[in-house]
Amino acid sequence: MALTAEAQSDSPTEVIAAGTKAVTILGSTGSIGCSTLDLIGRNRSHFDLVALTAHRNVRTLIEQAREYRPRLAVVADPAGYPELKAGLAGTGIEIAAGAEAVIAAASQPADWVMAAIVGAAGLAPTLAAVKQGACVALANKECLVSAGPLFLKEVNGSGATLLPVDSEHNAIFQVLDANRLESVERIVLTASGGPFRTWNAAEMAVATPAQAVAHPRWDMGAKISVDSATLMNKGLELIEAHYLFPVGEERLDVVIHPESIVHSMVAYIDGSVLAQLGMPDMRTPIAYTLAWPRRMAAPTARLDLAQIGQLTFEAPDLKRFPALTLAREALRTAGGAPTVLNAANEVAVAAFLAGRIGFSEIVTVTAAVLGHTEALGTAPADLAGVYELDRIARIRAEEMVQKSGR
């Protein structure tokens, strides 16, 4: 697992200037996948595309495959196979469909794999990439939230390199002295506060899905945008940080920073605070992982602090945004609690986006599932155990949705 300077200097395949890097993108049609391809498209001589995978956005996958010419294109939804086959006929690009095909694509030898499949569906493919020893750029929170100990065991056992892509964790990765964690006083994750940062509880109770996905700073998918609106996204990132940067839960903190310029900070015992700053553009952290341990040019807007004028910070309001407290409680409970938290939240968010429950009920449903799931203190022993606990939590979340639904 790459968290030390020594590990960074021992990986010649990670030096972008040294030659072509074989790349697979899991979730190529999402915002992270598209941003990754944008960077690759500007530096084509350095990259060889092994595989692109998508969930069901076949049209975009076809366009990407025709432009970037991977050796393999996979759609997870089998219903998309005929369209994919027709769209790539005559190109020489191998095609496949189904969940197992996505896992097989992730298992293909590659130097660098972008793990950007949203939700628990990304767990098995990301583990497959880890097992073949790739450098894995992790943009899937659920791998660590749902199966942190199991996932890190595979990373350490395979010799894979794990690089965080989330802007907050990537920022920490850049400024953390991982060889001297005892000198770290606090790790501070920043949060934009989402679209409802200044809304009161009554206003949020009647918020619409369209309002919830209208993030003021970042261009993200619907699910992640809703998580940002509830602050559950920051709660999940808190759990993820616990596994990536083992300083102890009590040394992890969150601060609201609406400008999204300071992406996270590390405070040291001598009073120094190191922060990574930049304009809110995911191509910056993606570029950092794509070229690691060196850097590459990215076409992002440059930071002009004088033009911005001021940066503001505030403590999160845990009464209006109880998701953050719920996530921290799940982290403290440990065992299977984070798995249940993630699964229940996914169901609740989907129900909100479908108009079945109100915005405030997302956290209510998730909390109820956590409160009515047995054996939370027992961590799943294997991937099958993670999936079983995930399945149980989803069933109970759906029951709660039906009870509280409109």
Position 218 scores a pLDDT of 63
pLDDT tens digits for range 31-66: 999 999 999 999 999 999 999 999 999 999 999 999
Could you say which DSSP state residue 249 is in?
A: G
Q: Can you say whether the dihedral through the CA atoms of 94, 99, 103, 106 is positive or negative?
A: positive
Burial class (CB in 10 A: 0-12, 13-18, 19+), 200: exposed
Max CA pair span of the chain: 63
Percent of the chain with pLDDT over 70: 93
Mean pLDDT of the chain: 91
Q: Give the whole-angstrom CA distance, residue 163 versus residue 292.
A: 9
Distances (CA, A) of 69 to 40, 56, 64: 12, 19, 8
Distances (CA, A) of 131 to 61, 74, 114, 149, 152: 26, 20, 14, 15, 11
Mean pLDDT to the nearest integer, 79-90: 97
| Closest alpha carbon to 138 in 2, 301, 305 | 2
Domain ranges of the chain: 5-165, 185-281+310-404
Report the predicted TM-score, pTM, of the whole model to 2 decimal places. 0.89
Q: Give the whole-angstrom CA distance, residue 292 versus residue 347.
A: 36
Q: What would the DSSP string read from start to end of 166-234?
A: SHHHHHHHHH--GGGGGGEEEEEEEE---TTTT--HHHHHT--HHHHT--SS----HHHHHHHHHTHHH
- Evaluate whether the domain defined by 5-165 bears CATH number 3.20.20.80: no
pLDDT tens digits for range 260-282: 999 999 999 999 999 999 999 99
Q: Give the whole-angstrom CA distance, residue 276 versus residue 380.
A: 35
Q: Name the least confident of 71-80, 142-151, 297-306.
A: 142-151
Mean pLDDT to the nearest integer, 285-296: 95
Q: Which helix (H) or strand (E) holds 164?
A: strand 161-164
pLDDT at 3 over 80: no
Percent of the chain with pLDDT over 90: 83
Q: Give the whole-angstrom CA distance, residue 108 versus residue 19.
A: 19
Architecture of the 185-281+310-404 domain: Orthogonal Bundle (1.10)
pLDDT tens digits for range 237-262: 999 999 999 999 999 999 999 999 99
Q: Can you say whether the dihedral through the CA atoms of 25, 40, 132, 7 is positive or negative?
A: negative
Residues linked to residue 274 through DSSP beta bridges, in sequence order: 266
pLDDT at 325 over 90: yes
Q: Give the whole-angstrom CA distance, residue 320 versus residue 202.
A: 10
- DSSP, collapsed to helix, strand or coil, labels residue 401 as helix
Position 404 scores a pLDDT of 81
